[in-house]
Amino acid sequence: MGIYESLNERLYLDKIVEFSKKKKVPVFYGTIWYYLGGVSLFLFITQVVSGVLLLLYYQPGVATAFESVRFIVSKVEFGWLIREIHSWSANLFIFFVFLHMFTVFFAKAYRKPRELTWFSGMLLLFLALGFGFSGYLLPWNELAFFATKVGSDIAGSIPVVGDFLLRLLRGGDEVSGATLSRFFGIHVAIIPAVFTVLLGIHLVLVQVQGMSIPPELEKVPEEDRRYMPFFPNFALRDVLTWLIILNVVALLAVFFPWELGVKADFLAPAPPGVKPEWYFMFMYQTLRLIPAHVWFIEGELLGILTFMLGGLIWFFVPLLDKKAKVGERSKFWNWFGIILIIYMITMTIWGYLV
């Protein structure tokens, strides 16, 4: 008896093969969007692999964090490459996750029956941002130190729970070694664990429900629609895309390295150019523009509340968009998405210009 047969008797491999044979991908102008989730997945795997490698040398702690990262990039063979890949892949990961989210949004793929896929995806996006925020501090350099001070202070100005949240994040009243330990634990254990579970749910949902098509295409009769088999046609294209992405990451890592900067110093003034990672820039720039007081509330608080409200609305779009449920496009939500993108891009660019 061959290996396949004996495994098949125990694991029902035939069923999986049968399933993947039946799985098909719609072919239309938006087929390219279907690669974005896969690319995000690939970049996540890259993050796990490079992150685990960094763990072998990284030492959290005020006296060792910066030094160990410097050791990785200057002494360890290919240490620079692993760290640069981790940084670049992280940034591309966030970029592709956002792109994935917006294409899903405009294709109305969140509509019934895929609401849960959207919710799990949004939670994954929040966790990805948490990955970014916690990972940014780990090299313990000056820019990250102040960006974390600012970021956690913003969390601290949320009404009622703010003070609690600030101490919970910082592990004390100030950004200190306790914060570093905490962020390390969050970055390498807590978020990865939760993320992996959610990712599993997200992927199972996608497999169970199949690929979504935009509402217009749904009106096309089945016999006029075009498909390609998932295996091997689409899967091979997926792999090719991943290969290209890996090459892009490698090129960026080699030619555009992320600076380590100078070590964080509690007694040094904040340097000019303290800025968060680019994906927080639109929020940061907004807070920078809001005056200290708007009517009777603090400007900062107003900004945070607006973002929280916006995030909630965006999260619950599958429930709020009544037209998508019946397979129609809602002009309102289309414009909501377009204006949001314009706002985010404008604020991000503005944030970097000043």
Partner 1 sequence: MNSDHSDIVKTSNKQTRRKFLDIILGAGFFAWIGAVLYPIGKYLVPPKVAEMSVNSVEAGGISEFPPSSSKIVRFGRRPVIVFRQQNGDFHALSATCTHLDCTVQYKSDTEQIWCACHNGLYDIEGKNISGPPPKPLMQYQVVLQNDKVIVTREEMT
Residues that bind partner 1 (CB under 8 A): 146, 149-150, 152-154, 164, 167-168, 170-174, 178, 266-274, 287-288, 290-293, 298-300
**In Å, how far are 43, 51, 82, 89 from 246, measured between CA atoms?**
8, 15, 13, 9
For every residue of 5-55, DSSP letters joined together read HHHHHHH-HHHHHHHHHH-EEEESTTGGGHHHHHHHHHHHHHHHHHHHHHH
Rounded to a whole number of angstroms, the minimum distance from the CB of residue 289 to partner 1 is 9
From the CB of 257, what's the least distance to partner 1, in Å?
24
Q: Which residues pair with 293 in a beta bridge?
A: 298
- H-helix or E-strand spanning residue 239: helix 235-255
Closer residue to partner 1, CB minimum distance, 115 or 298: 298
Of the pair 168, 248, the CB lying nearest partner 1 is at 168
CB 119 within 8 A of CB 312: no
| Least Å from the CB of residue 146 to partner 1 | 5
Q: Among residues 95 and 278, whose Cβ is nearest to partner 1?
A: 278
CB of residue 125 to partner 1, shortest distance in Å: 24
Number of H helices, E strands in the chain: 17, 4
Closest CB 172 distance from partner 1, rounded Å: 5
For partner 1, give the closer residue by CB, 246 or 287.
287
Q: What does residue 25 show for φ and ψ, rounded to 5 degrees?
A: -115, 125
C-beta closer to partner 1: residue 206 or 287: 287
Residue 111 CA to residue 178 CA, distance in Å, equals: 43
Least distance CB 239 / partner 1 (angstroms): 42
Residue 42 or 146 with smaller CB distance to partner 1: 146
Residue 160 buriedness (CB in 10 A; 0-12 / 13-18 / 19+): exposed
